Chain A
């Protein structure tokens, strides 16, 4: 029944329609970002620029300080990524493979804490960081992201597949726990480390509420925060805002396209088996 040509046509047509809906806003953003000022404010809306120009990007980087925001985003996201991958991996491995007192109880408590939304902690967290002098510093945006329960869980799931005999053999040979971790465990965990790195980088890059709260100093702001305030100032400036969106989205979109396989693997490991 499913081999009917009509059915096949309908399925493929729907596939195309959904793809158009998914991609059209992104393609339109790219197109408008190359338009001259005021060009998109016409009816009917133009689909392609009549004379493509880089003016909007030049304006963003020279006058709106986009270079600074891009740097801030890269710095904060990279620090969060490096630290959280290290801390989550150490903990995930410990919860999977090292017997210690209170291990299972601690892990269950962590899982239970997953239901608490991060926003509940935000007000006291702000006061705490203010006390520590970290409000309006890069560190203020970085420290809460240095470890994540979900990341620990992801590593633990994967680390459980490392055979115990491998670790025992290394111990009998006299290897210390640190050496075992860096020379045996880390290489075995490589795929999940890539996944974890993408997740934490994307998460930090796209995060909005916390950086909005903790970074009120304009020179420290990340791209989403800066873009939100630019979009309030330049409501009428479509072309400029679209260029700003391109700069914000492009790095993470490229990262995803290159490392797609790892991202999807992590997504499935985190939800289906969880």
Chain B
């Protein structure tokens, strides 16, 4: 057997799986989003009609779409910087020379990352329970009145953001830690000789050196946060007053609760476009700032 034949043969199973169960459906989704595929078409494909960009137009006129888009953007715009800052803070702590028991702490910080979203979301629902939750109990000790975390439209999304930060910060922390370890020690040495204090060393040595890692981490986190779904599904079911309904939640309900698969595909493509646009925006911003 020639190596070129072997190459195709070895790559074939994976390529077939990806082509059949991912590539083909993505192309089909674009076509599907241009049809009125609904529960009648599910029963008999003869009921299918081509509607052009009709789904997209009606989505852009649908207040619920804008609401869920706003909620998702809220989650991304507040959640991503908070997550990245928390990850960087934890990485700096673990990188500090005076810290002790670091392997233990590293594992402890990382533990929430490997847990199942649904299961820990169930825990958080009780931790943030208005009457019996540990969080309100702790706040009452500080003299703060009970907050209806998941039942108040103003607090539900912040609670989900806190949850996401807690669950995810360990992942980026590991990446930052590797980045910190690759910064040469003599740069700090030189900064100290120039009289830079700890803050200035962080500002003028650590941050610029971490630039590319920061960019990478922000892009990965953003892509993940745009896909918010399981957290509101378990913690709030999209409520109260639809204040935690995300774009993917809308897609799930449109597609698999009401069986409007054409419309759901249009929702998915709009989300995809938005993700591409924000990622490109971030890259453009980074290039202008001279990162990379």
Contact = CB atoms under 8 A, between A and B. Distances in A.
Contact of B230 (A176, A209, A260): A209
Contacts of B32: 123-124
Contacts of B213: 272
Interface of B: 1, 3-11, 13-15, 17-18, 20-26, 28-29, 32, 90, 93-94, 96-102, 104-105, 107-112, 114-120, 122-127, 131-134, 137, 166, 170-171, 174-175, 178-179, 192, 197-198, 213, 216-217, 220, 223, 226-227, 229-230, 233-234, 237, 248, 251-252, 255-256, 261, 264-265, 268-269, 271-272, 275-276, 279
A19 B107 CA distance: 9
B100 A12 contact: yes
A149 B252 CA distance: 24
A18 B93 contact: yes
A15 B99 contact: yes
Interface residues of A, number: 99
Nearest to A226: B118
**Which interface residue of A11, A128, A257 has the most chain B CB atoms within 10 A?**
A11
A189 interface: no
A120 B175 contact: no
Contacts of A245: 119-120, 122-123
Contacts of A110: 18
Given A93-B10, A267-B171, A117 B226 contact: yes
A70 interface: no
26 contacts: A2-B198, A11-B96, A15-B93, A15-B101, A22-B170, A26-B115, A98-B10, A100-B7, A113-B22, A117-B226, A120-B272, A122-B255, A123-B255, A123-B261, A124-B25, A126-B255, A126-B261, A143-B17, A144-B22, A147-B15, A148-B18, A209-B252, A212-B252, A225-B118, A244-B122, A249-B120
Nearest to B26: A121
Nearest to A209: B229
A45 B132 contact: yes
A125 B131 CA distance: 43
Contacts of B107: 257, 260
B198 A1 contact: yes
Task: Tell me whether chain A's interface is mostly helix, strand or loop, or mixed.
Answer: helix
A38 to B, nearest CB: 11
A225 B112 CA distance: 19
A35 B269 CA distance: 46
A91 B93 contact: no
Interface stretch (A50-58, A59-67, A200-208): A200-208
A7 B271 CA distance: 46
A98 B10 CA distance: 9
A7 B220 CA distance: 33
Contact of B126 (A101, A242, A252, A255): A242
B14 A87 contact: yes
Contacts of B197: 1
Contacts of B265: 120, 123-124
Contact of A25 (B104, B124, B271, B272): B124
B226 A177 contact: no
Given A208-B117, A245-B123, A248-B118, A177 B3 contact: yes
B279 A213 contact: no
A202 B119 contact: no
A272 B99 contact: no
Contact of A100 (B3, B109, B223): B3
B119 A249 contact: yes
Given A113-B22, A147-B18, A242 B10 contact: no
Contact of B17 (A22, A40, A147, A248): A147
Nearest to B114: A256
Interface string A8-27: 10011011001101110110
A14 B90 CA distance: 9
A100 B120 CA distance: 46
A71 interface: no
A29 B227 CA distance: 26
A15 to B, nearest CB: 5
Given A40-B132, A244-B122, 17 more contacts: A11-B96, A18-B105, A98-B4, A99-B3, A117-B227, A119-B227, A120-B268, A124-B32, A205-B116, A208-B118, A213-B252, A227-B119, A238-B132, A245-B119, A245-B122, A267-B174, A268-B174
Given A28-B127, A117-B223, A272 B178 contact: yes
Nearest to B21: A144
Given A91-B15, A127-B261, A213-B256, A248 B268 contact: no
B174 A116 contact: no
Interface in A139-153: 143-144, 146-149, 152
